[in-house]
Structure 1
Amino acid sequence: DLVTTDEIDDPHDLEIFAEVNGERLQESSTENLIFGVDELIAFCSRAFTLEPGDLVFTGTPPGVGVYREPPVLLG
């Protein structure tokens, strides 16, 4: 879901997850990011213009398919 800044209490404590076919395979929080949300936005905005609706992809939370037992791969 896309939301506006007034709908977010703390950008450093947002749930992030990945679901495949209705099964939640990865789950974490923005508090676990190596760089804070503000740092990521500042870095990106120095390199290019961010527009409303832009998405910033940050990597992957724990639960990457190749490391699961048994491995779960998209394909």
Structure 2
Amino acid sequence: MIDLSRPPNSGQDVVAARVRRMLTSYLFNCPRGPASVREMICSDIQRFTELGARHYVADLIEVLKQYDSACSKC
């Protein structure tokens, strides 16, 4: 688990914290259903790909992987 109360030690900590915050924001939409949340993430990946925001897209892909992993345990 990431300790957000301390400063990050490395670039990986920064990325992990950013991905965690993004995932948390999507999880607020869980009452809409898992398929709906997954579609939101996929739509955002497509939108930011079109905008050329490569680093943001990479973070969103990691968010999707973590979301899929968490949902497979439901």
The TM-score with structure 2 as length reference comes to: 0.25
- Determine which structure has the larger helix proportion and give its number: 2
The TM-score with structure 1 as length reference comes to: 0.24
Q: Which has the higher contact order (CA 8 A, sep 6+)?
A: 2
Structure ID, larger Rg? 1
